[in-house]
Structure 1
Amino acid sequence: MEIYLGHGGLPCLVLEDVYDWEDVDEPVYEPSDGSSAIPDLPFLHGKECTTVVDRSGVHSLMIGYCKCPNACTLDKQLFAMGMFPASFSRPKSAFTFSVLDGFLLDNLECGTSAINYYSKLRRKTSSIFPHLVPDWYRELMRVGRQWRQLKLLKWNGLAHEKRQPASSELALFCPACPQPRINVPQLDERDRNDPEWLYARSLVMDGNFKAEHLHPTRPEDEVWLTDGMCFMVTRDEYKAHLAGAKDHVQIQINMDYALCHALSHHTKGLTRALTFYDINCQYNKYFRHRVNESLHLSIPAGMEIILGIGLWHVHGHQDKCYVRYASTFITGAARIDGEIMKTLWAPLNVISPSARGMSTLHRQECLDYQMNDSNFMKMIKMSGFLYWKYREAVKGVSESMAAFQKLNDAADPIVVKKWEEQDQQAQMRRIADPSAMDVFDVQLQKAPTRKQQELALLSRVGRGVANAQRGAATWIASSITIEELQISLLMDIRRLGKHPTETQHLEIGRRWTKLQNQIDEFTIAAVTHLGEDFDLDDNIQDMEVDFIDHSEQEGDGDTDGELNPHEDPRCNVFCPKNVLLPLPSNISIQRCTKLGVVHLIGQEIALWEGQANDALQAIRVLLADKAVLFRTTVRPAKSQVKVTRAWMQVHSVERVIRLHAMIYAKCRAQLGHLQAHTLLKKYLRMEKCHLKATAAVADPNARGQRNSTLPWFWSLNVQGDSVSNNWMNECASPSSDHADHTMTEISL
């Protein structure tokens, strides 16, 4: 087949060689190894064929160009026919526009590389001998680069202009961003009453570690087509910055240059910028110092940089980062997550593997085209959705304002005024000192532990007091340790069964002997702290109540059956029969008054309170651990071996939970003996249902979870102001003296 150009499919009259078709006897063509699949046919009369690469395959065709005096050049004649020549002076091969569009589309949506796409065309041409089809892979890569550049020029209105595009002119224009002289007035035209946040630009930084790139072997041979004209930065400025910033990490160097470039080129006419970065809390500590040291970096004068962290990443930081850097607390940031770069990486990662081996410039153009094309399509699809979202937002403003007004009217006006002042001060100071935003955080006062209580009691004791009073806190604290050992020993005896082995008998006997020695030492020291009038033979059995029975009544969650140390044969030899230590809680308050040791009552209450806090904290951690085990170990287990091992881990955690539940029950019983009724209102009774762990708390979309609440100890308020109203856990004042543990429920 022969194609004529320039005369509507008819041959040019100026053509010198025009032959009629004729049938001739042709020899059988047998290609040798490595030869082309296109034979040298006799009827071509020595005319050269042009290789045309189309979506249907690779074809060898005779093309007759127009040679009239006023005819266009050969390359333009091919362009007019929808063909892109591989060379422009004497073209020998050409690619149809359809195959170039198909290549870019496959590369964009499927991540198909040039070598794979051309291999497909060779297979289409000759499915049996694809290796005999001419290899125009390199020409496809070169023409593909030029085709991308032409598409970008056409999309941005430069199809009929010969001028060189300015910096970033080929990047997609965003009509939603503040654009001075377009949708934002100039500085001298703005109303002075307008808030500062109204004229601010949001800059989101992120690194895509999946977009790997191999270093080119000969970078000096690379040709730039769109240097700094699209999304990527200019090469000369960037290379100069790299040469003078070798003391820092490569990723940090890139981020510094990218941020300074964005502040200089994309915030013209603006004085405020919101920057979002996954690690902004650490990255910006020395950012201005690095800029001042560099000869190639600068920040526009008067530019205020507001630091932010995306909502997805900020919850993985320390708790203090949430109020300091979350977009929720940035005035004017609107309801955004600050993670828009993550949505752009998803389509970009499709094309990244195919660009891994490209030259630096080819890769840059490929990614520029990808971002332009994908973002443009997103804007087209989102236009209708954004209009619907805007209408819903306008409707929601009135509803939100009405709800907020009700809440505001119910609050104390003095407190509201104080909150507004704190808000204004924090927003003014946040740029220089992000810690000023801590006033928005829940002022969590952690419940004091037993060690903290003991240290506090020791610090209150002066130098002029008696030795007995000085060591009373340590003496009482040692009794609490003995009580824990007794509970642990009785639980271990319970698990022995009715027929324990000799080794188990011996182990229990050794532990009991060691425990009895500690009890004897504690009892001997009791005379020193309780006074000479105290007699070890005082009758305290009237108060004797088995703490194992207490734990069963309190709901320790044990299902192994009750164990009475006075009747069970396992306890007759090795287990103490409920040894009650000579503490104020056991000898009664009246007896302490007679002995003149009333000061010991307050110290024992403080230590039991600290022990209760330790037990509850351990229960919270263990229940969370149990929920994680169900989600990550029990449910994924498929084989019998894995299921058995998984449940062994769960039972091990359950035993520790029961131990701490019994310790808490003992603490609450002793506080009752000491008549600490105020603390008993805060430390409620522990029920068996409270110790159930569910993996549904890790799934925010679990059905019915909206109306379910966690047990009382998950939101325990150490000041006790939320006992009567659970809703106060959500609305506690950040500046109030009363704080709660509401965030514990959220973090679980």
Structure 2
Amino acid sequence: MQAIIRGQGSVEGQQAAFRTGFLYEKDTWTRSYDSRAGAGIASTHALDAALQAYNKGASTDVSTAWRSHLTLFHELTLQAKTNTYDFYQSLLRATDNSGTSKHPHRYKQFCHTVRLWRHLRQLKRGGRGHDPAGASATAPGSLAVVCPACPHPGKNLPDDWDLTPPDKLWIYTLYLMMDANFRCRCKDRGLDGVSLAPGWSYYVDDQKFQDYLQNDCGFETEYCRNFERRMARNFPEEMRLDLEDVNVRWMIPKNHIAVHGPKHSRYSLNFNDKVGRTYGEGVESSWSHLNPASMSTREMALATRHEVLDDHMGAWNWQKVIGLGGFVLHLCSMSAHEYPSNIG
């Protein structure tokens, strides 16, 4: 991973620039991830050398130590929802809490650095550094953390899965859930910004989304009825699904079924076959993780807000992935315990 600092040339020269300057200077944004006009590229070796000089007391500029704190801030903001302002103020107080020292104001630069750090980490984890076409060739949604338990043809399904007898085909069912989080809405503050990853994770490209709302979205409230016909009429071509050989069934999540009133039992997961104990609230279960972040994201420009929430949703998905083994073991143990009584 590289960082951008003022100055070019030798490691010693970059060290000197690192001590006196900020590690990112945006003169011209060209959307090219390997060149910046007016800014030099410091290798990891140069940065390590600069940090070593800082740790030996060669510098008193707090900005030069940011790289050593970015990982800590990233984990704190994903778990504890610590925002950049509180983290920055904590660093100042940890440096000198007497109130008698005047620290250089680097808060805005810190925010820019965190944004770039978050973006580069997502690109790194998505393997985008191995693509000769560069980061700009990232496909929509390719930085999202996908569920390994869901069926993915060509990845975790048998090659002949589509030849499975109809009475067994249900084991390859893909469950898709939809919900809205009204607490995570954004204020209309008239802020504008450039997205670093338009549609690359969980949020779609905002410009395409706004165009769809403006030109194609109707006002029908019954989303499920005549879905295939409405999709062909209203959806952009890249959003249309081929449902010719797909059996789509619509269900109401278990926590929502009661508020839909009577005569909805046919949409209940409790009374439909081949759904197991699916409760359909997988999306809403993450609201407790996202809602604390909304206190800061609601004040952001849309582009920055999308990047931050994409990061939080990716962290949530990753925790689900690494916890999947223990969860499946728990389900197997519970099933083995209940099996005798269920077949008796």
For the criterion TM > 0.5, the same-fold answer is yes
1:318-397 map, 5 Å: 318-321=261-264, 323-397=265-339
2:146, 2:317 within 8 Å by CA — same for their partners in 1? Answer: no
Specify which of 45, 48, 59 is matched with residue 80 of structure 1: 48
Distance 1:212 1:13 in 2: 46
Q: 2:201 aligns with which of 209, 213, 230?
A: 230
Q: Is residue 251–residue 267 contact of structure 2 (8 Å, CA) maintained in 1?
A: yes
In the TM superposition, what is the alpha-carbon distance from 1:211 to its structure 2 partner?
0.4
Shift in Å at residue 394 of structure 1?
A: 4.0
What residue identity is the alignment partner of 1:349? N
Q: Which residue of 1 aligns with 2:140?
A: 167
- Match of 1:217, SS state, is coil
Structure 1 residue 204: Cα displacement: 0.6
Q: 1:685 matched to which residue of 2? A: none
> Would the aligned equivalents of 2:73 and 2:87 in 1 still touch at CA under 8 Å?
yes
Please name the residue that 2:31 is paired with.
Answer: none
Structure 1 residues 218, 318: CA separation in 2 closer, same or farther (over 3 Å shift)? closer
Query: Which among 108, 112, 115 is matched to residue 142 of structure 1?
Result: 112
Deviations along 1:27-72, one digit per CA (max 9) or x if unpaired, are xxxxxxxxxxxxxxxxxxxx9952689xxxxxxxxxxxxxxxxxx9
Q: Structure 1 pair 191/225, CA: closer, same or farther in 2 (3 Å)? A: same
- Measured in 2, the distance between the counterparts of 1:188 and 1:122 equals 58
Q: State how 1:34-49 maps to structure 2 within 5 Å.
A: 49=19
Q: CA deviation at 1:216?
A: 5.1
SS of residue in 1 equivalent to 2:92? helix
- Name the aligned partner's letter for residue 213 of structure 1: C
Q: Which amino acid aligns with 2:262?
A: D
Give the C-alpha shift of residue 202 in structure 1.
0.5
The one-character-per-residue Cα deviations of 1:682-724 (angstroms, maximum 9, x if unpaired) are xxxxxxxxxxxxxxxxxxxxxxxxxxxxxxxxxxxxxxxxxxx
Question: Distance between the aligned counterparts of 2:217 and 2:223, measured in 1?
Answer: 17
Distance, in Å, in 2 between the alignment partners of 1:234 and 1:187 is: 35
Map residues 302-313 of structure 1 onto 2, 5 A cutoff.
302=244, 303-313=246-256
Residue 315, structure 1, aligned to residue 258, structure 2: yes
Q: Is the CA contact 1:348–1:371 (under 8 Å) kept in the aligned structure 2?
A: yes
d(CA) in 2 for partners of 1:130, 1:348: 38
Which consecutive residues of structure 1, in runs of 5 or more, have no partner in the other structure?
A: 1-11, 19-46, 54-71, 84-91, 253-281, 403-748
Deviation of the 1:298 alpha carbon: 2.9
1:218-253 residue CA offsets vs partner (Å, 9 max, x unmatched) = 43xx2222222211113343232122146539xx7x
Q: 2:95 aligns with which of 125, 128, 149?
A: 125
1:452-489 per-position Cα deviation (integer Å, ceiling 9, x unaligned): xxxxxxxxxxxxxxxxxxxxxxxxxxxxxxxxxxxxxx
Matched positions, count: 302
**Cα-to-partner distance string for 1:369-388 (whole Å, 9 max, x where unaligned):** 11111221233234223213
- The question of whether the paired residues in 2 share the 8 Å contact of 1:52 and 1:95 is answered with no
Counterparts in 2 of 1:178 and 1:374: CA distance versus 1, 3 Å: same
1:241 aligned to 186, 189, 212, which one? Answer: 212
Which residue of 2 is the match for residue 200 of structure 1? 173
CA separation of 1:100/1:14 partners in 2, compared to 1, >3 Å: closer, same or farther? closer
Q: Please point out which of 164, 182, 185 is paired with 1:209.
A: 182
Q: The residue matched to 1:103 in structure 2 has which SS? A: helix
- Displacement after TM superposition at 1:180 (Å): 0.5
Alpha-carbon distance in structure 1 between the residues aligned to 2:21 and 2:43 = 14
TM-score norm. by structure 1 comes to 0.37
* Residues 252 and 269 in structure 2, CA contact (< 8 A), matched pair in contact too: yes
Amino acid at match of 1:99: H
Residue 295 to residue 160, structure 1, CA distance change in 2 (3 Å) = closer
Q: What is the CA-CA distance between 1:400 and the residue it aligns to?
A: 0.9
CA contact (8 A) 2:143 2:201 kept: yes
Counterparts of 1:105 and 1:48, CA distance in 2: 25
The answer on whether the counterparts of 1:168 and 1:231 sit within 8 Å (CA) in structure 2 is yes
Match of 1:110 in 2: 80
After the TM superposition, which residues 698-709 of structure 1 pair with which residues of structure 2 at under 5 Å, given as runs? none
Give the secondary-structure state (helix, strand or coil) at the position aligned to 1:112.
Answer: coil
- Give the Å deviation of 1:335: 0.5
Report the more deviating stretch, 360-369 or 194-203.
194-203
Q: Which residue of 1 aligns with 2:32?
A: none
Match of 1:435 in 2: none
How far apart are the structure 2 equivalents of 1:178 and 1:161?
26
- Distance in 2 (CA, whole Å) between partners of 1:153 and 1:330 is 41
Q: Which has the higher Rg, Structure 1 or Structure 2?
A: 1
Indicate conservation of the 8 Å contact 1:210/1:352, yes or no: yes
SS of 1:349's equivalent in the other structure is helix
* 1:125–1:133 CA contact under 8 A, matched in 2: no
**Percentage of pairs with the same residue:** 25
* In structure 2, C-alpha distance between the alignment counterparts of 1:121 and 1:130, rounded to whole Å: 15
- Of 281, 285, 301 in structure 1, the residue corresponding to residue 243 of structure 2 is 301
Deviations, residues 246-295 of structure 1 (Å, cap 9, x unaligned): 6539xx7xxxxxxxxxxxxxxxxxxxxxxxxxxxxx54246456434425
Q: Which amino acid aligns with 1:79?
A: L
Q: What's the counterpart of residue 184 of structure 1?
A: 157
Cα RMSD for the two superposed structures: 3.4
Please say if residues 103 and 117 of structure 1, whose CA atoms lie closer than 8 Å, have aligned partners that are also in contact.
Answer: yes
Letter in 2 for 1:347: H
| SS, match of residue 249 in structure 2 | strand
CA contact (8 A) 1:204 1:339 kept: yes
Query: Are the structure 2 counterparts of residues 368 and 82 from structure 1 closer, same or farther at C-alpha, using a change threshold of 3 Å?
Result: farther
Distance 2:148 2:96 in 1: 49
TM-score normalised by the chain length of structure 2: 0.75
Indicate if the aligned counterparts of 1:171 and 1:231 stay in contact, CA closer than 8 A: yes
Which of 284, 288, 301 lines up with 2:224 in the alignment? Answer: 284
Report the alpha carbon displacement of residue 344 of structure 1 after superposing the two structures with TM: 0.9
* Residues 1:157 and 2:127 aligned together: yes
Instruction: For 2:343 and 2:255, locate their aligned partners in 1 and report how far apart those are by CA, in whole Å.
Output: 27
- For 2:248, the aligned partner's letter is I
Q: 2-side partners of 1:13 and 1:378: how far apart? A: 42
Whole-Å separation in 1 of the counterparts to 2:310 and 2:18: 38
Residue 245 of structure 1 contacts residue 294 of structure 1 at CA under 8 Å; is this kept in 2?
yes
1:116 is paired with a residue whose SS is: helix
SS in 2 for 1:304: coil
